[in-house]
């Protein structure tokens, strides 16, 4: 077994016992990248030189006994988090040569913990997509089947973890962009409560929905990452000064007597029978360890997709107005005057999906339409959040499918935006309500494609999610497979 195949907590023990060095772990990761990256394309750019500098620093810290559980652990960074002195592109031509002058808060925290940055992971352009097919820098393939999508928009992060091209990764989740690719790539992904992890230095898509979180090989690693990512940041206006527990304390606890809600609206026409079977099997697993299953209703679920695709594009339209070719990023060389430069810069710098969402967002915010669309969507969003508030009065956590199908074929839905948007139907409600959610491996289809189980919790109850996810991981004993690359 190669070092790159171990989990972070397994490697941390080896590093602290001096059984291996951080440099040896990093060597293993880069050997793996050289072997499979040409097939997967999980990265936009690699940070090889600085990674080895970090590995040397990690080995020094380890020798002095000054390490954390992430010291010496190679991780991938979704290319949406600002990294000082290193390109941050957001998967877009318009930021192709942008080099931030500062680190995002999560990058600062990971540096302080001694983590090693392997590279910037590929993603849908400006996080707008569910398949990592909209990146200006090319598509990412699913390691389990190279003809399938890895999910999105954090598809590069999830694919890198699944293919052992890193030990863990950072993603962002606006409508399922951590949980959906994690599920489709057979790894663990957690979207924290809105405000739990600082968004300072995250390039914004939809500011009231975006949240940063970890993608890892197992639930214990997820808890370790959350211990370093969570916490109040006075530089970020939506960061919440809520105490942060030690998330590892929630592992290995029983869930006997818990009530697990299963929303009837999530078992819809169009869900793949194999996916439903795996979810039903997960329900039986939890019943076997003493959890009580209760059917619940989230009555406004049918309005989630429409609500999301009004609010998210509206906020994107506002956030992306800053990319005009004047201050930084790509500038068209063809503009004869300022207005033409604006037009050509944005036309040439943005891809089709980003343009589509800017147009939708600008329309729903325009005079005469704001009340009919954006205001109404905001009101429905309040009702969706109320659905969850009422549900959590009856249950401890909620269990759902993560996606209606396993990974679909590359190009299958690219020309049909509506079908692509519907692939997020089970994940976007958590973003609208601001609650945390975690996707964990639930099993495999007959074709050998991973299927994920999603747990949703009330605000700031990431610990509960990790507790039940770890209990499920332990009891379900999902077959340990490795992508055949």
Catalytic positions are 78, 153, 177
The answer to whether residues 46 and 86 touch, using CB atoms and an 8 Å cutoff, is no
Strands 116-121 and 188-191: unpaired
Sign, Cα dihedral of 234, 236, 237, 243 = negative
For the chain, the domains span 1-485
Residues of the chain with pLDDT under 70: none
Cα 322 to Cα 34, 227, 316, 340, 342: the distances in Å are: 37, 33, 11, 16, 11
Dump pLDDT digits (tens) for 444-454.
Answer: 999 999 999 99
Cis peptide before 153 (omega within 30 of 0): yes
- pLDDT score recorded for residue 418: 84
- pLDDT score recorded for residue 417: 84
Look up the CATH number of domain 1-485. 3.90.1300.10
Written in H, E and C, the secondary structure of the chain is CCHHHCCHHHHHHHHHCCCCCHHHHHHHHHHHHHHHHHHHCCEEEECHHHHHHHHHHHHHHHHHCCCCCCCCCEEEEECCECECCECCCCCCHHHCCCCCCCCCHHHHHHHHHCCEEEEEECCCHHHCCCCCCCCCCCCCCECCECCECCCCCCHHHHHHHHCCCCCEEEEECCCCCCHHHHHHHCCEEEECCCCCECCCCECCCCCCCCCEEEEECCHHHHHHHHHHHECCCCCCCCCCCCCCCCHHHHCCCCCCCCEEEEEHHHCCCCCCHHHHHHHHHHHHHHHHCCCEEEEECCCCHHHHHHHHHHHHHHHHHHHHHHCCCCCCCCCCCCCCCHHHHHHHHHHHHCCHHHHHHHHHHHHHHCCCCCHHHHHHHHHHHHHHHHHHHHHCCCCCEEEEECCCCCCCECCCCCCCHHHHHHCCCCCHHHHHHCCCEEEEEEEECCCCCEEEEEEECCCCCHHHHHHHHHHHHHHHCCCCCCCCC
End-to-end CA distance of the chain: 15
- pLDDT score recorded for residue 391: 98
């Amino acid at each position: 077994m190669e070092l790159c195949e171990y989990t972070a907590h397994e490697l941390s023990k080896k590093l602290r016992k001096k059984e291996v060095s951080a440099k040896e772990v990093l060597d293993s990761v880069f050997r793996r990248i050289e072997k499979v990256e040409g097939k997967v394309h999980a990265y936009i750019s690699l940070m090889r030189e600085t990674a080895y500098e970090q590995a040397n620093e990690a080995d020094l810290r380890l020798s002095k006994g000054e390490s954390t559980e992430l010291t010496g652990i190679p991780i991938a960074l979704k290319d949406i988090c600002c990294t000082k002195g290193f390109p941050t592109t957001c998967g877009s031509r318009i930021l192709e040569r942008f080099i931030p002058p500062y680190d995002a808060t999560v990058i600062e925290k990971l540096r302080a913990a001694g983590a090693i940055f392997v590279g910037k992971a590929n993603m849908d352009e400006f996080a707008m997509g569910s398949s990592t097919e909209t990146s200006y820098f090319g598509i990412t393939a699913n390691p389990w089947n190279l003809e399938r999508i890895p999910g999105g928009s954090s598809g590069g992060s999830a694919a890198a973890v699944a293919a052992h091209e890193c030990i863990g990764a950072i993603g962002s989740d606006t409508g399922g962009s951590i949980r959906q690719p994690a599920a489709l790539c057979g790894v663990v992904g957690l979207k924290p409560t809105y405000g739990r992890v600082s968004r300072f230095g995250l390039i914004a898509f939809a500011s009231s929905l975006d949240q940063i979180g970890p993608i890892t090989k197992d639930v214990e690693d997820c808890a370790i990452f959350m211990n370093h990512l969570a916490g109040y940041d006075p530089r970020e206006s939506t960061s919440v000064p809520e105490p942060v527990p030690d998330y590892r304390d929630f592992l290995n606890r029983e869930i006997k007597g818990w009530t697990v809600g299963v929303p009837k609206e999530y078992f819809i026409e169009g869900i793949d029978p194999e996916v439903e079977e795996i979810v039903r099997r997960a329900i039986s697993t939890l019943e076997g360890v003493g959890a009580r299953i209760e059917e619940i209703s989230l009555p406004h679920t049918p309005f989630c997709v429409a609500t999301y695709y009004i609010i998210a594009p509206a906020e994107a339209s506002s956030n992306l107005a800053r990319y005009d070719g004047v201050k930084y990023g790509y500038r068209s060389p063809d503009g004869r005057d300022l207005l033409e430069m604006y037009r050509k810069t944005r036309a040439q710098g943005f891809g089709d999906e980003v343009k589509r969402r800017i147009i939708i967002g600008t329309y729903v915010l325009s005079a005469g339409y704001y009340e009919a669309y954006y205001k109404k969507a905001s009101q429905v969003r309040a009702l969706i959040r109320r659905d969850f508030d009422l549900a959590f009065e009856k249950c401890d956590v909620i269990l759902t499918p993560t996606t209606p199908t396993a990974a679909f074929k590359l190009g299958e839905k690219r020309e049909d935006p509506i079908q692509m948007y519907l692939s997020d139907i089970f994940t976007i409600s958590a973003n609208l309500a601001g609650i945390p959610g975690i996707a964990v491996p639930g099993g495999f289809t007959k074709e050998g494609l991973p299927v994920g189980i999603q747990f949703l919790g009330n605000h700031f109850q990431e610990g509960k999610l990790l507790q039940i996810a770890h209990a499920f991981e332990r009891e379900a004993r999902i077959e340990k497979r490795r992508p055949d690359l």
